[in-house]
Structure 1
C-alpha cells in the first residue's frame, strides 16, 4: 500500500473510532473535517467559483461623537425709548430672521440676521457695507430692493416700516436700527426672555433674551477602525438617537450644521454620544469575497469570472465601492450570470486585468 493510500486509510479509521467515542454530532464534525483534508500530498489547488449577490448597502458604521458645548448667545437691545406694549416670544421659542420680538410704543421690532448689528440709520449717505446689509435684509423678508441704494430701496424701507407700524412710514428716508434686534445666528432657541408688557424699553446693550446652550463642535471618530467616509464622494448623514445632521467630515463646527443635535440634547448636554454614519441613499452593489479582488502590476483592479471552459478564468475590470470584513462591493463590471473566481491568487499567477 502506498503512502497516500495508507494515510487515507488511517484518516478513515480515525473517523470511525471518533464516531464510536465522540457520538453522532461530534463524529459528524470530524467526518466533515476528514473529507476536507487532502488525500494526496501532491494535489493541485482547485479553482473555486461563486455567484455574486446583488445587495443594498447603506455602508453604516459605528462612531463615537465628542460634543463641545458653548454658552447660549445673549440677545441685546438696540437703542430703544418708550414702553413695551407686547411681547411675542417666550422661553422655548425659536426665533429666525424676521421673527417678531417685542412691540414698543406700538412698533414691532423684529429679529434681523445681518453680518453685524446696525448702529445708525442707514440712508443714501451710508457706507456700501451698511447699504448692502439693509438691502439684503429687505430682500430676505420679501421686500423689493436693489443691491445698491435706489428709489426701489426707499420703497422697500417704507413698506417694511408700514408693516411694523411706524408712524409716518410713507415719508421715511432711512432704515432705523431700532426697528430690529440683531440675530447673530440663522436661528436661536430661547432659554430666557427678559421682557414684559408695561416695562420701560430696555436700553442700548441690555440683555433681553438668552439662547439655549448650543453645540460648538462635533468630533466624529470611528469605533470599529474603518476609515470615515469622504463626504465629497457621496451624501452621508450622522445619526445619534433621533438627532441627525449631514455628515460633513470628522469635525463639524457650523452652528446651523449641528442645530438638530443642539436642540435634541440641550437639556442633558452630553459630552459624548454614540451613533452611526451612513449613506443617505443606499447603493446597490455585487457582494464578493475580498479574496476575489485581483490587482495587476499596472494597479488595475479586476475579478476573474468563469470562462468558456472550466480551466479558463477570464479577467473582468470592476469598480469597487467600499468593503466590509471579508467582503468587497462591486458597483460596475459584473453581470448576474457571472461566476467569480474566489481564489485568483492561487490560480492566475501574474495575469493582467485587461
Structure 2
C-alpha cells in the first residue's frame, strides 16, 4: 500500500528576485510518475446541540417497568415503559398519533398506522382507511403489548420518536411512580453534532488554498469516510450523525483529511526544484530526458503543486516521467508563467 503524501500548503519559495545558479552547480534529477493517494489536512468546526427531549404521550397509570436506561439506543419498536399492564413502545412516524383509531377512521394518521403495522409484520391496510385488515393488525399489536384486543388503536401505546434513532441520556420516569404527564420530558437525549464545516489550517488559508473539497476529494475522519454536502464545504446530514459517535461532546473541532488519488499526469520531483514567484505561480526548470541525449534545452515550466512530503513534491504540468528537473535558482528572465 502506498503511503499517502501530505499536501504542504507552504510548499513555496517566493522571492522578489532570483539569481542564476551556474550550470555546473545545478543538479538534474529525473521526474518519476506520481502514484498512490494525496491528502490535505483540514479541520471540522463542530456545532453541538442538545436535541429536544422525547415527551410523554397522553397516558395515565402507574409505571410498572422501565425498559430503557442511559446509553440505550432507541429506535422504532423499542419497548420503553410498561404502564399498568400495557407495554409502551417507541415509534418514528411523520407526526405523533393523537386520537383513537377504529373502523371508519381515515386520514394521514391511519396511513402511518398501516405503515407501522406493516413494519411490525402484522396484518394491515394499504391506504388512508381503517380496514378490516387494519383492525386485525391492531388486535395483534394489542396482544403483544398486553392491551385490550377490541380492535381500537390507542395513541398512548406509542412513544413518539422525532427521528429514526436516539441515544438516551436520562430517563424521566420512576418505577412505582405515576406515569409522566402528557408533554413532559420522558427521555432526554445526549448532545449531538448538528453541523460540521470544513476549515483549513491558518497557513493553508493564507496560501489561498480552497476550504471546500474538490470534486474528486473524499473526507476522512479516523477510518470513517463522511459524505459532504452539495457545496462540498460542510459535512452532509448523514455524515454529521456519524460524527457524534466519533468524537467527545467537549470537542469543538476535529482534524480530518481530504483524500484523492494522485492525478494520472502527476510526477514526483525534489521539492527543491519547485519555485514560486511573487504572484503565487509555481514552476520548475525542466529539460527533456526522454530522448536519451541529456542535452535538450532547459525551459521554465508552469506547474501546480498537488502534494509534498519528505523533500518531494508531486506536481502536474508539462513535465513527464523521465524529464529532468533542475535543482537551483531560475534565471531572473524566466518567470513562472
Which residue is 1:161 aligned to? 142
1:183 equivalenced with 2:161 (yes/no): yes
Q: How far, CA to CA, are the matches of 1:64 and 1:204 in structure 2?
A: 43
User: Is the CA contact 1:80–1:201 (under 8 Å) kept in the aligned structure 2?
Assistant: yes
Q: How far, CA to CA, are the matches of 1:107 and 1:342 in structure 2?
A: 79
Of residues 185, 203, 214 in structure 1, which corresponds to 2:192? 214
Q: CA deviation at 1:50?
A: 2.8
Which residue is 2:23 aligned to? 38
Q: 1:147 to 1:306 in 2, by over 3 A?
A: farther
Q: Greater Rg, structure 1 or structure 2?
A: 1
Q: Quick check: which one's helix share is greater?
A: 1
Q: 1:52 to 1:181 in 2, by over 3 A?
A: same
In the superposition, the TM-score normalised over structure 2's length comes to: 0.65
Q: 1:139 to 1:232 in 2, by over 3 A?
A: farther
Q: How far, CA to CA, are the matches of 1:305 and 1:145 in structure 2?
A: 75
Q: CA deviation at 1:105?
A: 2.0
Q: 1:203 to 1:147 in 2, by over 3 A?
A: same
Gaps of 5+ in 1: 1-35, 40-44, 293-302, 314-319, 347-354
Which residue is 1:237 aligned to? 220
1:116 equivalenced with 2:95 (yes/no): yes
Of residues 221, 241, 249 in structure 2, which corresponds to 1:259? 241
Which residue is 1:105 aligned to? 84
The residue matched to 2:108 in structure 1 has which SS? helix
User: Is the CA contact 1:288–1:327 (under 8 Å) kept in the aligned structure 2?
Assistant: yes
The higher-RCO structure (CA 8 Å, 6+ apart) is 2
Deviations 1:88-107 (A, max 9, x none): 01122221222110011222
The residue matched to 2:139 in structure 1 has which SS? helix
Of residues 110, 114, 117 in structure 2, which corresponds to 1:135? 114
Of residues 67, 80, 83 in structure 1, which corresponds to 2:59? 80
1:52 equivalenced with 2:37 (yes/no): no
Q: 1:215 to 1:157 in 2, by over 3 A?
A: same
In the superposition, the TM-score normalised over structure 1's length comes to: 0.62
Q: How far, CA to CA, are the matches of 1:157 and 1:234 in structure 2?
A: 50
User: Is the CA contact 1:60–1:277 (under 8 Å) kept in the aligned structure 2?
Assistant: yes
Q: How far, CA to CA, are the matches of 1:125 and 1:340 in structure 2?
A: 82
Q: 1:65 to 1:308 in 2, by over 3 A?
A: closer
Gaps of 5+ in 2: 1-20, 275-285, 298-302, 332-337
The residue matched to 2:239 in structure 1 has which SS? coil
Q: How far, CA to CA, are the matches of 2:136 and 2:117 in structure 1?
A: 10
Q: 1:232 to 1:196 in 2, by over 3 A?
A: farther
The residue matched to 1:135 in structure 2 has which SS? helix
The residue matched to 1:63 in structure 2 has which SS? strand
User: Is the CA contact 1:123–1:131 (under 8 Å) kept in the aligned structure 2?
Assistant: no
User: Is the CA contact 1:62–1:274 (under 8 Å) kept in the aligned structure 2?
Assistant: no
Deviations 1:286-318 (A, max 9, x none): 5345999xxxxxxxxxx99766675899xxxxx
The residue matched to 1:121 in structure 2 has which SS? coil
